[in-house]
Structure 1
Amino acid sequence: MTEDMALRVVPRPMRKQVEEGLRNAIMNGRFAPGQHLPDRMLCELFGASRSVVREAVRLLEAEGLVTTIPNRGPFVSFLSPAEAEQVYEVRGVLEALAGEGFALRASAAERAELRRIYEALAALPPRGADQAVLLGLKRDFYEVLMRGSRNPLVGRMFETIINRNTQLRATSLSDPGRLPDTVAEIRRVVEAIEARDAAGAWEACRAHVRSAAAVALRILREREQEARAAPSAARP
């Protein structure tokens, strides 16, 4: 391979760009649960054709991020408390497996990288932290955790579940008192990993997910009750 070939940038297909852009917009809260996603708006936003936009929407529908209602079009999916509970159950096991694997197999550089991300998380103000920064640090944490676990299958499965879970993570972190607890829970994960305590890392990861689930499920149930009390504000 020549140097010029090694440096060549391969452009991504437009469909892939729209798919990733729409997925990110949903996961970071730009498009809220229940929000309509009309073709015209998406075409203008991404500068893409209607056929490309519709293909991207179909792919996100397969992931559960979008729901298409007959004669009304696509909407950002709601996640019911029951569905959220299932997502957290699966995430808890996958995250624990990754934590255990990381404690056993990660390199010293990866352990140091995980510690740096934790310290950046711990440095955020306990209240009023920038949500985009916070979610970005959590994404970085899990990217390193999955990579260092040396279990590609867990990583692929986790990537699928985390697309649904990102909306829930934003929900749990919206609780004013959640961030200090998150920092404390992540610290226990990092400390167990640094001690090469695989069982401790497993349990710390499970405890972190259980705590996040409790907060998110409480908020989702409160919202569900509010929606039932106000039919006009209910789902599309």
Structure 2
Amino acid sequence: MTPNKTFDLLIPRRQSSLRQQVIERLRDAILSGLFEPGQKLVERDLCEMLGISRTVVREALQHLGAEGLIENIPHKGPVVATLGLKEARDIYAVRQALEALAGEGFAQHADAAQMQALRDALEHLKTLPSDAGQDAVLQAKNRFYGILLEGCGNQVVGNMLTLLNNRVTLLRRMSLAAPGRLGNTLVELEEIVSALEQRNGPRARQLCADHVARASAVALQGLEASAGPVQRQKVPTGASQE
């Protein structure tokens, strides 16, 4: 298994557990596109890349499977999960409802420091150079949404969106790749932040829902055009692979 991009997976010595470091490295590799949807992950190769034992790699793969980033295919082993159209639609439907609640909650509960932090995060996103890579844009967007969730006053909404975050990041990568989408995103986020600064909860709720709906339309259009591994079919346990 040879990744098609340059990416140093070797684990440095840190205070956090080795297992957690491996999980983070493999998660980053998947979300960055180093390992592509449908790609088989060979434990032996991962051990060599990471410089660790197979036991730790296997535990990390199981954890990422629980996050929905890896699937175990009978007679094939672990592969990077792909998102089917129905799953993508379901994710966007849940995300739309939750982010609308988060927006309204932020308008009602965020303190002045959180409001300023959200504005600063948006301004940072706006000032990214035109040649900034997609990873930089996604990191800036994740920072923005992290602040939104922290200040929304609803821990359940925050926890549920956090659980969805990895698959949402994969979908964001697709929607942001569409021509002109980033510019539209900045306009939409500016409208959202302006409504939040005015403490207009109902308007913020509607703008958040509209923003997700537009992103959904772009990403789903890309998925439909792909019509390859995107159309994932679950394989029953024990079924053979042709």
Instruction: Establish whether TM, by shorter chain, passes 0.5.
Output: yes
The residue number in structure 1 matching 2:201 is: 198
The residue number in structure 2 matching 1:220 is: 223
For 2:213, which of 203, 210, 215 is the aligned residue?
A: 210
1:161-217 per-position Cα deviation (integer Å, ceiling 9, x unaligned): 111111000010111211011101111110110000001111111111001100000
The residue number in structure 2 matching 1:115 is: 119
Whole-angstrom CA distance in 2 between matches of 1:203 and 1:48: 48
Whole-angstrom CA distance in 1 between matches of 2:30 and 2:48: 17
For 1:129, which of 132, 146, 159 is the aligned residue?
A: 132
Q: Does 1:25 align with 2:29?
A: yes
The residue number in structure 2 matching 1:51 is: 55
The residue number in structure 2 matching 1:81 is: 85
Confirm or deny: 8 A CA contact 2:82 2:229 kept in the other structure.
no
Confirm or deny: 8 A CA contact 2:73 2:79 kept in the other structure.
yes
Question: Matched residues, percent identical?
Answer: 45
Whole-angstrom CA distance in 1 between matches of 2:53 and 2:229: 38
Shift of 1:227: 8.0
For 1:99, which of 88, 100, 103 is the aligned residue?
A: 103
Whole-angstrom CA distance in 2 between matches of 1:195 and 1:112: 13
In structure 1, runs of 5+ residues without a counterpart are: 1-9, 229-234
Shift of 1:46: 2.2
For 1:163, which of 154, 160, 166 is the aligned residue?
A: 166
Q: Does 1:62 align with 2:66?
A: yes
Whole-angstrom CA distance in 1 between matches of 2:117 and 2:57: 37
Confirm or deny: 8 A CA contact 1:91 1:162 kept in the other structure.
no
Partner letter of residue 210 of structure 1?
Answer: A
Count of aligned positions:
220
Tell me the C-alpha RMSD between the 2 structures. Answer: 2.0
Change (3 A) 1:62 1:225: closer
Partner letter of residue 21 of structure 1?
Answer: R
State the SS of the aligned residue for 1:196.
coil
Whole-angstrom CA distance in 2 between matches of 1:19 and 1:179: 29
Shift of 1:226: 9.2
The residue number in structure 1 matching 2:192 is: 189
The residue number in structure 2 matching 1:6 is: none
Partner letter of residue 216 of structure 1?
Answer: A
Moved over 3 A (4+): 225-228
Shift of 1:71: 2.1
State the SS of the aligned residue for 2:151.
helix
Shift of 1:44: 2.0
Q: Does 1:172 align with 2:175?
A: yes
Confirm or deny: 8 A CA contact 1:99 1:198 kept in the other structure.
yes
The residue number in structure 2 matching 1:147 is: 150
Whole-angstrom CA distance in 1 between matches of 2:102 and 2:121: 17
Whole-angstrom CA distance in 2 between matches of 1:87 and 1:180: 23
The residue number in structure 1 matching 2:41 is: 37
Whole-angstrom CA distance in 2 between matches of 1:99 and 1:46: 40
Shift of 1:39: 0.5
Whole-angstrom CA distance in 2 between matches of 1:171 and 1:186: 18
More helix by share: 1
